[in-house]
Chain A
Amino acid sequence: MAGTKYRGSEISDVDQFIKDKDGLGSEREVEIGQHIGYRYDVNLVPDYERLTPFLKDYLEVMGWDDLNWLEDVHMGYEDGKPAVFDRNINGWVRVPDSISLPDNQQDRDMIARELLVKFQMSDRHPLVLLRKAYMKF
């Protein structure tokens, strides 16, 4: 029934879900064979000391003094791989193996933000095709 108790595992290590792709930490997760909850801290606010040059340029072009919507973008982990959730396609986009991951979530989040902006603004983003198909002329 609803209102029982949180039965998922806690995040203790930045590489937790790369080392253990199933992420079955708690008793309940092992029992049901499914990870409960996010694989990253959705409430982690950004450390502005770690902005990348690309992100600084992006904020300037958009006329924003902070990360704005990108504050909600984090590097996540799916199937043991680093990935970023793209809300515009409602799916995970893989981070290529050629990108080496920093040892902390804050710097990883900045990389995730940069990759996601570049992807969303590119011509190969699925939204470009969707728009062509369904736009009102």
Chain B
Amino acid sequence: MDILTLLVVVPVLTVIALLFTKDLKQSRFITMIGSIVQLGMAINLLFAYFRERAVNASIMLFTRDLTWFESLNIHYSIGVDGISVALIILTSVVVLAGVFISWKIDDLPKEFFVTLVILSAGVYGVFISVDLFTLFVFYEIAVIPMYLLIGIWGSGPREYAAMKLTLMLMGASALLLIGILGIYFNSNADGGALTFNILEIGKVNIPIEAQKLFFPFTFIGFAVIGAFFPFHTWSPDGHASAPTAVSMLHAGVLMKLGGYGVFRVAMFLLPEGAKHWSNFFLVLAVIGVVYGAFAAIKQTDLKYINAYSSVSHLGMVLVALLMMNKTAWNGAILQSLSHGFMTALFFALIGMIYGRTHTRDATKMGGLLKTLPFISMIYVIAGLASLGLPGMSGFVAEMNIFAGAFQHPDLFHRIISILTVSAIVVTAVYILRVVGMMLMGPITDSHFEHLPKDTWYERAGIYLLMIPIVGIGMLPLWLSNMIMSSLDPFIQRLL
């Protein structure tokens, strides 16, 4: 079997194996093994990709094509470029870290891990799909388990949060489906059969009117899951109610499907539509950047702070995509990766802190640096990564976005760019506010004077996420080259 299909098959096998497990110990062990295998395969894929890329210049590598529904010309068609390889690595790292963080989940562990793994299978599927229909199916597979994960294992107003999240994402999916069908029915502009294959459609030019019509559907359809203003409100409530590993996976990986889909489908297949609509969506995206950051200042619940922070950071991804040049796009992909690792780390740490202090209210905590030195130190580092400190991945990503945005000399884009850059100040404010309040200062509550120390599985999860953050931040060149070289087909579509 080819190395891409295995990425979906291994999770399925893991699920089957999980069905035979009896208790927490067995199920977490199986899931861990499955996730480690998956991470190994992802890393193997990375090296295989580099080897193959050296000799093969086509857009997608490792392509396979199987006919699925002949009448509608639906194929199971897969392949990867540098962007998807990077995102697959992200997914495998976050999933494995998530398993470590859920080490002690006591409520229905088997079912929890099954749902989690199914979700990850869907995400892998999206990243390897070249066929719009396959992509959509995988996308739904990734989104639907979220309802169960929040509804069953969540906390607080979980039914409300789960329902809200699912309904909004389903609503978006409906728009997306219209967009995809619109693309499908216009995919034979030069004559020939209708097709869902992204690469095939990429070769023809969909009539401009159709592009203008269907771009907003496709864009919004994907962007909602990327916390696109004003459709982001599912995210704070959803995160707040979700269990730790689900927040990690959701914010770390699932939300990246938004930017990925916008880029791979909306912008690649509907370039004229993108040009036509870019200013409109840019305004909304930049509102998200600034607004998310300002809203985060006012929050006291750690998860809410992070959720709004995600609105801001992922708003930057959309801004960058709409800036439509290679530098900004490179930044967008890097930001997706960076935010994925970083926010997963954040949610993991929040989970650890919550597990000890039983509160997520930053105002109720103080002086944790003294009682939880390791976790607090990592929280500070994650915070610094989030505010774009050089040496961490966020800096590299943001600088690419900014440099790309500044390549537009007109006043409109200048204002958008400067507003985007201004987020670095506001981000510093809300990050340091929490750090100062929660980690520094005197210990406010005598209950917090003796807290359980960090455990090996927690440290494993932390290190797993820290390595790529620092690695990308210190030596960005290889990754940025890998992504850059995959951007040419996209930029050529725009010319």
A and B part of one assembly: no
Enumerate chain A interface residues (CB-CB to B < 8 A): none
